[in-house]
């Protein structure tokens, strides 16, 4: 098998790797557990940053980042000052990193939308680089499922072993750290290194003008979220009986008014919203199949009952004659033709700049009020994650850069993104700002989706687009294959862990 050949080649390379890791740390602390003496728990972000960069000087070295996947999601392309507050913050972070670390930051982009699950130029570039023993890149920021494929092929270095970073700190996404650490190693992660993990997080918007026109107080939705009573049934109750034949042609179609605007990915988001995951790490650090639970089955049954109703919901991706659904989605919601819209934060931010009617933002609903918290889906197809190639020039330099960039992402970039680009432009009330806190703090990283177990992401999307609830059939058909895939992944990553420790 391809991956077995890769593993055998890389195990030989790891003999050389142990020698490389100890070199070129520039007097920055290098602890075997991946933590840093420069980041004690009693220091805040500014204190950690100051101590981290105090003795770091890389003498003008070029630091090359490869960005790619379905979207480049490049945070380091801003080389001049800008009147855009977010771009200006990105520029200030880049300039400060270059000055404080003595680096010249450069980026390359490898992207191609049509390639998915490890087949695109980003994957080919990193895979070929590692297989040839080259060390072209210091850091990579690629589509999250391509990072997973590269992990399985043994092409990434464990962030848990990388010097000078503390991945347990809050500038890294802690659900990603806990949910993706198969055999105890984290190979890719999100956090404040980039704003794009926020951009591609799912949410639900509601049109305040339509609420007012129909005697609905918008505060009722915020109140339900605060009380923990915002559930799939409550969403359905407000969506029903809202349809109106706006274009007067006698059929439910594009141009009419609906209770709910959906798209195919919403089925994955609703599955996640009840706390379900395709696969979950057990107490031994192994990924195991957890896709089918009674809660997951009931959640989808309740949701699909109204999502598949032509007089309740419209799927922007299945409108006849429409290519991708983006323009249709935008037209429907901004033209006051949907009470609710299942979207991502990036769409909401765009609407905030030009939509005439006010709108609010909500997390995805719970299954029932007994559910302990809300859960928010992290988009598979366009979300990137940061990772380190197996072979790089200086592990200490990369660890220092990643830690410093993540801290400045939290203290310099995120305030502009969150407080100005989002809160002031997108959401137009204080309650929506509180909703953002809930959404960003409950993001879920499903190891089953990212490692493409049973192609379940694609299968669920196809199921939704065809308006047929075949969840149980899919599970029965792919259960054996999914268990076999997970067993193989667990074995490969355990082997890599043992090689690195």
* Domains of the chain, CATH where assigned: 2-198+383-424 (3.40.190.10), 202-377+454-479 (3.40.190.10)
* Alpha-carbon span 480 to 478, nearest angstrom: 6
Judged against a pLDDT cut of 60, whether residue 123 lies above it is answered with yes
Query: What is the pLDDT averaged over residues 138-144?
Result: 94
Judged against a pLDDT cut of 50, whether residue 362 lies above it is answered with yes
For residue 11, name the pLDDT band (cuts at 50, 70, 90): very low
Q: What is the pTM of this model?
A: 0.90
Contact status, residue 461 vs residue 264, Cβ threshold 8 Å? yes
* Alpha-carbon span 437 to 439, nearest angstrom: 6
Give the residue, 25 or 363, on which the prediction is more confident.
363
* Alpha-carbon span 439 to 147, nearest angstrom: 24
Query: 3-class secondary structure for 148-183?
Result: HHHHHCCCEECHHHCCCCCCCCCCECHHHHHHCCHH
* Alpha-carbon span 137 to 9, nearest angstrom: 20
Contact status, residue 361 vs residue 349, Cβ threshold 8 Å? no
- Identify the top-confidence range among 141-150, 289-298, 426-435: 289-298
Cα 165 to chain center, whole Å?
Answer: 21
Cα 110 to chain center, whole Å?
Answer: 19
Query: What is the pLDDT averaged over residues 216-226?
Result: 96
How is residue 360 annotated by DSSP? E
Q: List the beta bridge partners of residue 260.
A: 313, 340
Residue pointed to by tokens 């480049």: 72
pLDDT more than 70, % of the chain: 88
Judged against a pLDDT cut of 80, whether residue 383 lies above it is answered with yes
Contact status, residue 284 vs residue 494, Cβ threshold 8 Å? no
Contact status, residue 386 vs residue 140, Cβ threshold 8 Å? yes
Burial class (CB in 10 A: 0-12, 13-18, 19+), 310: middle
Q: Which residues contact 215 (CB under 8 A, 6 or more apart)?
A: none
* Alpha-carbon span 196 to 162, nearest angstrom: 23
* Alpha-carbon span 408 to 420, nearest angstrom: 17
- From 181, 269, 74, select the one nearest 490 (Cα to Cα): 181
Sign of CA dihedral 150, 165, 93, 354: positive
Which of 6-20, 94-108, 300-314 shows the lowest per-residue confidence on average (mean pLDDT)?
6-20
Query: What is the pLDDT averaged over residues 292-297?
Result: 98
């Amino acid at each position: 098998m391809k991956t077995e050949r890769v593993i055998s080649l890389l195990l030989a390379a790891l003999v050389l790797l142990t020698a490389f890791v100890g070199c070129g740390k520039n007097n920055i602390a290098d602890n075997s557990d991946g933590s840093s003496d420069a980041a004690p728990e009693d220091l805040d972000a500014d204190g950690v940053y100051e101590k981290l960069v105090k003795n770091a000087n890389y003498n003008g070295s070029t630091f090359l980042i490869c960005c790619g996947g379905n979207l480049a999601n490049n945070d380091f392309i801003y080389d001049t000052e800008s009147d855009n507050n977010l771009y200006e913050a990105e520029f200030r972070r880049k300039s400060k990193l270059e000055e404080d670390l003595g680096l010249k930051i450069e980026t390359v982009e490898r992207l191609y939308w049509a390639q998915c699950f490890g087949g695109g130029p980003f994957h080919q570039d990193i895979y070929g680089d590692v297989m040839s023993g080259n060390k072209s890149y210091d850091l990579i920021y690629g589509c999250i499922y391509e990072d997973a494929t590269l992990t399985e092929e043994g092409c990434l270095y464990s962030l848990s072993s990388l010097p000078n970073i503390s991945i347990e700190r809050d500038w890294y996404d802690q659900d990603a750290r806990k949910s993706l650490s198969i055999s105890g190693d984290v190979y890719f992660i999100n956090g404040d290194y980039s704003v794009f993990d926020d951009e591609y997080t799912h949410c639900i918007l509601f049109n305040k003008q339509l609420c007012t026109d129909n005697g609905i107080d918008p505060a009722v939705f915020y109140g339900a979220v605060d009380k923990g009573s915002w559930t799939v049934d409550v969403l359905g109750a407000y969506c029903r009986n809202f349809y109106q034949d706006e274009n007067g042609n006698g059929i439910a179609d594009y141009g009419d008014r609906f209770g709910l605007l959906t798209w195919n990915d919403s089925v994955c988001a609703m599955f996640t919203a009840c706390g379900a995951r395709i696969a979950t790490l057990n107490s031994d650090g192994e990924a195991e199949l957890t896709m089918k639970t009674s809660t997951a089955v009931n959640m989808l049954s309740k949701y699909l009952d109204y999502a598949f109703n032509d007089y309740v919901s419209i799927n922007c991706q299945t409108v006849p004659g429409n290519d991708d659904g983006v323009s249709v989605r935008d037209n429907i919601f901004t033209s006051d033709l949907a009470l609710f819209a299942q979207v991502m934060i990036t769409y909401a931010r765009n609407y905030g700049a030009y939509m005439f009617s006010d709108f609010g933002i909500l997390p995805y609903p719970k299954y029932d009020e007994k559910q302990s918290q809300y859960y928010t889906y992290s988009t598979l197809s366009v979300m990137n994650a940061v990772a380190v190639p197996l072979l790089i020039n200086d592990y200490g330099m990369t660890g220092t850069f990643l830690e410093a960039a993540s801290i400045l992402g939290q203290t310099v970039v995120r305030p502009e993104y969150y407080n100005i680009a989002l809160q002031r432009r997108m959401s137009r009330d204080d309650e929506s700002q509180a909703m953002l806190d809930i959404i960003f703090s409950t993001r879920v990283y499903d190891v089953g989706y990212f490692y493409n177990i049973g192609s379940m992401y694609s299968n669920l999307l196809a199921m939704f687009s065809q308006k047929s609830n075949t969840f149980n059939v899919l599970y029965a058909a792919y259960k054996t294959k999914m268990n076999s895939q997970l067993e193989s992944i667990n074995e490969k990553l355990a082997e890599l862990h043992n090689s690195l420790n």
